[in-house]
Structure 1
């Protein structure tokens, strides 16, 4: 079922992105009186199609792209017979260079606008939720497998990144300076000592590998019992939402990672919980005593629970952290959403820079359709879907703008040359350039697909 959901999201996302991209070319061409012969989402063979006016609309069986065939244009169809005849008024080649330039930019512009609209909507709808630096400095972090490998330890309090104070936990967990920086480092407090921990230049690989992305660091989390799974060992033991578990088998603790470790050591056995129930204890009086301070309305109960073989009892923890949320009005969302959209492109460019410099293994960092399918995930989450689709829309615009023949950017490059020099490249030159570009693109697509398949089995 997860695979079906992944594939469904991938196909929907690509259909939106490619359909609107090609529609941008088509509408611009029709606006300037050019004849559009074909509009296709996906490559042949054709699954279904219909003709309306002068244009045949179709859905192709290979959902890895799409195309618009405009009369009198050297494109992927390589229909050179048409180019041998005299130019007709409705043909691409008969129009002024500036009109042809706008047509070729149409798809890129639509993808940029779509990406901005998505990010503006998400910013307006959901705002910005984050954990402030003060919580990280107070509670410290949990160093997971790859956090430990770079020298971090659970309990470290990250004070700075690259010598500068940060604002949010995400800045130290997944910030651009951490993942994409050169010579980056954490400044941490460990048992009263201030240390600098170097951040390796290949850290990006951790965040692009499906098996390691969640094994870096998290914030240490005081907690209370959230939802109790019905029929679980926690439910049978009598745990209730809102309970504060303050000791396991008489041993006190503060953070959820300590609690999880205690349960792991008791897998398959029974444990006794000391639970505070009732009004929320008087917290925020220091880590050492906050979980044991009670007010007059709280009571302490002892519960016995069975631990399963995975070290769990069956409830969801609710963090007791200062999680802040900012909401933005329409005008603010327009600015912040646009900033996020273009920032996503810049971060991807920096990521590719690390690949080309050799700091990051290309086979682990570059994703094709199969890899993107896994990024969408096996559960249908509309917020996640639109976030990823917005990122892909901005990235598709950037990639298409690259000056590679057969891409929109290649056509833009030749048209810009024509406008500046006043001399149009010959049809023969454009044909050869188109063929070379297509060979290059298909070779890259083949390598990316092979890499995706290879990564499925490693």
Structure 2
């Protein structure tokens, strides 16, 4: 059932993204009175699931969910329909229009995907606000996994900055650490002092490949007393709500689970406590019950901060979010082509994309993931690879600059090269999926 929910979310998101993208090409072509012969969501080699014709356009749903397409009259595209190019140019064809109109038709799909992301982020900001854990609240620091300690972190370290940039959002710290093209310098607060840790690129690459970042660090839970059982031994010792236990029998620097375990080991005996109250540490002695308890209850000091937006505030918030995600993903894409980062080994296909969706249906998460995928689709399509929108656009842009149109023969050859590149990327990405999930 979990897999089915993931698949349904992926299918719904992909259908929406492909439909919006192709609608961009379609509507811009129609604005310039260019005839669109086919409008398909998903590919339809040999047959389609259903189709109908309205006017000059055949609308349909293909069976191969690797994308979609619009077949624009008079354009050399993935259909490789050479016969139409041999016929006399008609006024309603793509090739009959000025270069600036053809350029706009080519980039319209990318623009629609970006606008969709903006619309989604605006809607999410208005409906749910922006929730985050502030690093300012993490004054007790973090506990680190073995992988984190191997990098030089210690339990209780509080990350202050990464390469000199202050760490603000807890959920972004991990990605800021591991998505890099070079060594990282992390400033941590340790024992009241700031310490600089140098994290080599090769160790960060190994952390990414092993997915050791998934549990790299967790917020430390302090022994912060939320309430006291008046019949318990803690009340008799003088413990109060708001007290923080910072030492047990001389042991310091632990968090609540570790202090609680230390107290349990003294069941039926007494313990010496260091209690922080109003900024002053008090020494108290408490008797531990036979069950290993003090009769106090601990509360979490962490709250999920939520910034709410009015309708009008959500619009610039959505635009900023889109810009930040585009910038972040572009940086990742740039690092993929740099051999030293080895991020190309982590490229994934449909299995990797589907795995980002949760196994339960959460509309907020669904829309956030859909917006992110819409940006990925936009960026991937604008790359100057023949066969993609960016490849078509760059030839048209060259014509706009020079006044010389690229010959059909060159366009046809570039289309074959582009299709070969796209096929290779598809096989490589999905081959990585198969290797990681079924073989490795």
TM-score for the superposition, normalised by structure 1: 0.78
Residues 164, 433 of structure 1: CA spacing in aligned structure 2 closer, same or farther, 3 A cutoff? closer
CA contact (8 A) 2:336 2:342 kept: yes
Q: Is the 8 A contact 2:335 2:343 kept in 1?
A: no
Distance 2:10 2:194 in 1: 46
Partner of 2:6: 6
List gaps (5 residues or longer) in structure 2.
227-240, 269-274, 293-297
On the 8 A contact 2:174/2:213 being kept in 1, the answer is no
Show the 5 A alignment for 1:161-310.
161-171=162-172, 173-174=173-174, 176=176, 179-180=179-180, 182-192=182-192, 194-201=194-201, 211-222=211-222, 255-258=255-258, 285=278
* Residues 304 and 11 of structure 1: CA distance in aligned 2, closer, same or farther (over 3 Å): farther
**Match of residue 314 from structure 1:** none
Relative distance call for 1:284 and 1:337 in structure 2 (3 A) is farther
Q: Which of 104, 107, 120 is 2:106 aligned to?
A: 104
Task: Write out aligned runs for 1:27-426 (5 A).
Answer: 27-45=27-45, 46-136=48-138, 138-171=139-172, 173-174=173-174, 176=176, 179-180=179-180, 182-192=182-192, 194-201=194-201, 211-222=211-222, 255-258=255-258, 285=278, 319-362=300-343, 364-426=345-407
Corresponding position of 2:423: 442
> Aligned partners of 2:98, 2:79: CA distance in 1, in Å?
22
Contact kept in structure 1, 2:145 and 2:216, CA below 8 Å: yes
Secondary structure of the equivalent of 2:44? strand
State the secondary structure of the residue aligned to 1:13: helix
Following TM superposition, by how much is the alpha carbon of 1:118 offset from its aligned partner in structure 2, in angstroms? 1.2
Report the more deviating stretch, 41-50 or 24-33: 41-50
After superposition, the Cα gap between the structure-2 partners of 1:339 and 1:363, relative to the gap in structure 1 and judged at 3 Å, is same
User: CA 1:213–1:47 in structure 2 vs 1: closer, same or farther (change >3 Å)?
Assistant: farther
1:16-62 Cα shifts (integer Å, max 9, x gaps): 11111011111111222121111111112422222222211121221
**Contact 1:25-1:107 within 8 A present in 2 as well:** yes
Give the superposition deviation at 1:320: 2.2
Q: Distance in 2 between matches of 1:224 and 1:5?
A: 40
Indicate whether 1:20 and 2:20 are aligned. yes
Kept in 2: contact 1:115–1:393 (CA 8 A): yes
In the TM superposition, residue 288 of structure 1 has moved relative to its aligned partner by 7.0
Conserved 8 A contact 2:181-2:341: no
Deviation (angstroms), 1:79:
0.5
Work out whether residues 145 and 215 of structure 1, in 8 Å CA contact, stay in contact via their aligned partners in 2: no
Give deviations 1:3-27, integer Å, cap 9, x for gaps.
Answer: 1111111111111111110111111
Residue 230 of structure 2 corresponds to which residue in structure 1? none
User: Taking structure 1 as reference, are residues 51 and 304 closer, same or farther at Cα in structure 2, changes over 3 Å only?
Assistant: farther
CA contact (8 A) 2:126 2:309 kept: yes
Instruction: Give the Cα separation in 1 of the matches to 2:74 and 2:333.
Output: 36
* 5+ long unaligned stretches in structure 1: 227-242, 273-281, 294-299, 306-316
1:204 touches 1:360 (CA, 8 Å); kept in 2? no
> 1:256 & 1:51 partners in 2: Cα distance?
68
Distance 1:125 1:436, change over 3 A: same
Task: Provide the C-alpha distance between the structure 2 equivalents of 1:413 and 1:135, rounded to a whole number of angstroms.
Answer: 48
Q: TM-score, normalised by structure 2?
A: 0.81
Q: In 1, distance between residues paired with 2:434 and 2:143?
A: 33
Describe the SS at the equivalent of 2:212.
coil
Count the aligned residue pairs.
Answer: 408
Q: Which residue of 2 aligns with 1:456?
A: 437
Contact 1:178–1:199 (CA under 8 A) maintained in structure 2 = no
Deviation at 1:199, TM superposition (A): 2.6
CA contact (8 A) 1:206 1:213 kept: no
What CA distance in whole angstroms lies between the structure 1 residues aligned with 2:351 and 2:132? Answer: 31
Whether contact under 8 Å (1:118, 1:386) holds in the other structure is yes
CA distance in 1 between partners of 2:381 and 2:102 (Å):
16
CA RMSD of aligned residues (A): 3.7
Q: Tell me if the contact between 2:134 and 2:170 (Cα under 8 Å) persists in the aligned partners.
A: yes
Cα deviations by residue, 1:113-152 (Å, 9 ceiling, x for unpaired): 001111122222222333333322x201111233222111
